[in-house]
Amino acid sequence: MSEELTSEVIADLLATAINAVAATSSLAELDHEASQVRAKDSALMLARRSLGTLSDIDARKAAGALLNEAMSVFGEAVDARRAALEISERASQLEADRLDLTEVVVGDLRVPVGRGHAHLVTQTRASLEAVFVAMGFTVTEGPEVETDWYNFEALNLPPGHPARDMYDTMYLDIGEPETVLLRTHTSPMQIHLLEQAVAEGTLPVHAAMAGRCYRLDTPDARHLPVFHQIEGLVIDRNITFADLAGVIETFTAAYFGPDIHARLRPAYFPFTEPSAEFEITCTICRGVGCRTCSRTGWIELGGCGMVDPAVFAAVGIDPVEWSGFAFGFGIDRCAQMRHQIADMRSLIENDLRFMRQF
């Protein structure tokens, strides 16, 4: 045999092997066939083993190279057949599995019984919205993808404004650089609402708007890059800082309970002036002072202030005739405080054992 190991012989051996593979009709058959060809006693393997008996070195080398080539061609043929068989096997499995959903006899089916649990963030959001509805606010919401105009410029954060850096913004690779972005707060809704109210002549506005926001925050026990905020906006005649303070106080008592109070302290938000941060009585120690509130008895909840004249200018509202306030805070943070959740990340794990508590 060894003396006959010509290129024709090798080509024949390869053709036989490939034909066998091509003839297979299932993955199992293919595996079987491939292992036959690769087995020690297959024709190709015997041919390889017989190389050692060739006396002529050049002939041995040439035949060896041809055999290696043949094995690699064979390997490709197996792979190609495998891919084809996988497609057809999936097709036939799917076909065997076919179910015509237009002729389902619905009455025979049991739908899971028991009661599910709404997500804690949803529950929190719903109860916050209910409080604001009761206080006379209309609930509305807007898109999560925004532009620099709504998220920044109309809110008195023009391009290059250093305070833009405070909002660790995620930009989208669409249009001009740093133009399309994921909103970093719910405040763009202020602009949408005011633009609409001006266009339709429907001032005053008393609105609460909640939704998902995004910031480049590495997740930790108190921060998630994807989070939820709720925002309030009141634009009317004769609205003052006293009304803002009153609304915050009322909302705090309504949501957290009558023994939780609110206080305001000066802060900076480009879209409000005067601006304030609002703190509430620590929900853990009820104002006595504990680790959570750094022994101050108060915890920060959100920001607020009188709508800045620059915002009125951006939407074309006369700041002498109209005045108003806005406030905003984190829904997730609210839930975290009310339920004393150690790690915010529990909220996105969707572990049923955690969810069933609420």
Partner 1 sequence: MRAPLSWLKEFADFPDDVALLRATLDDLGLVVEDVEMVGEGLEDVVVARIEEISPIEGADKVRRVIVEAGSGPLEIVCGATNFAIGDLVPLAPVGATLPGGFSIATRKMRGVTSNGMLCSGSELGLGDDHSGLLLLTETFGAAPGEQITTVLGIEPDVVFDVTVEGNRPDAWCISGIARDLAGRMGLVFRSTPIAEMPRSSTPTSMLASAKVLDPELCPRLGVAVLEDVEVGPSPAWLQRRLALAGMRPINNVVDASNYVMLELGQPTHPYDLAKIPNAGIRVRRAASGETIETLDGVLRTLGVPGRGLDDAGIDCVICDAEDTVIGIAGIMGGATSEIDGSTTTVLLEAATFDPIVTTRTSRRLALRTEAAARFSKGTDPAIIETAMIRFAELVSLSSSRVRLCDDPIVVPSEPPVRRQVLVPIDRVNGLLGTSLTSTEAMELLARLGFEATATEGEITVLVPTNRPDIRSGDPGVADITEEIARTAGYSTLPRRRPSWPQPGAPGERQALRGAVREVMLGIGASEAWTSSLVAPGEVALIGLAEDEVVITNPLTVEESRLRRSLLPGLLRSIGRNLERRQESVALFEIGAIFVHPSAGGPQRSTRAGALGGHEAIVPGESERLHLLLATDEVDARTAVAVAQQLADGLGLARVIVASSTEVGDMQAGLHPTRSALLIDKATSCVVGAVGEVDPRLVEQIAPSAKDRRIASVEIDLDVLRDSTKVQRRPLEATSVSRFPSSDLDLAFVAADELSVEALLDAVGAGAGDLLEAIRLFDVYRGPGVEQGSRSLAVRCRLVADDRTLSEAELATVRQSMIDSGAAIGAILR
Residue 305, SS3 per DSSP: strand
Out of 3, 26, 69, 136, the residue judged to bind partner 1 by CB under 8 A: 136
Please select the residue that binds partner 1; options are 111, 258, 342, 357, rule is CB under 8 A: 111
State phi, psi for 152 to the nearest 5 degrees.
-130, -65
Instruction: Specify which residues 29 forms β-bridges with.
Output: none
- Cβ proximity to partner 1: between 7 and 196 the closer is 196
Contacts of 306 (CB under 8 A, 6+ apart): 240, 241, 244, 272, 273, 274, 275, 323, 324, 325
According to the binding rule CB under 8 A, does residue 98 interact with partner 1? yes
Chain position carrying tokens 């076909």: 95
Query: Closest separation between CB of residue 129 and partner 1, Å?
Result: 6
- Closer to partner 1 by CB, 36 or 292: give it: 292
Q: How many CB atoms lie within 10 A of CB 24?
A: 19
Residue numbers 2-21 binding partner 1 by CB under 8 A: none
Long-range residue pairs from 293-298, CB within 8 A, at least 24 positions apart, any chain: 298/263
Does 306 help bind partner 1 (rule: CB under 8 A)?
yes
DSSP tag of 163: G
Residues 329-358 that bind partner 1 (CB under 8 A): 347-353, 355-356
Decide whether 57 or 113 has the Cβ nearer to partner 1: 113
Among 121, 189, 260, 317, indicate the residue that binds partner 1 (CB under 8 A). Answer: 121
Query: Of 34 and 315, which has the nearer Cβ to partner 1?
Result: 315
Interacting residues with partner 1 between 139 and 198 (CB under 8 A): 139-141, 143-150, 153-154, 158-163, 165-166, 170-180, 182
Burial grade of 113 (CB within 10 A; 0-12, 13-18, 19 or more): exposed
Among 14, 67, 280, 314, binds partner 1 (CB under 8 A): 314
* Contact call for residue 61 and partner 1 (CB under 8 A): no
Cα(232)–Cα(243) distance, integer angstroms? 13
> What is the DSSP pairing of strand 205-214 with strand 138-140?
parallel
Task: Give the position of tokens 């008996």.
Answer: 53
SS3 214: strand
Please identify, using beta-carbon distances, which residue of 40 and 356 lies nearer to partner 1.
Answer: 356
CB of 35 to partner 1, least distance (A): 25
**Nearest residue (CB) to partner 1, 33 versus 129:** 129
Q: Does 89 bind partner 1 (CB under 8 A)?
A: no
The Cα 281–Cα 278 span in angstroms is 10
Q: Considering beta carbons, is residue 52 or 177 the nearer one to partner 1?
A: 177
Partners of 279 in beta bridges: 263, 300
Residues of span 229-258 touching partner 1 by CB under 8 A: 234, 236, 238-243, 245-247, 249-250
Q: Tell me phi and psi for residue 253, to 5 degrees.
A: -65, -40
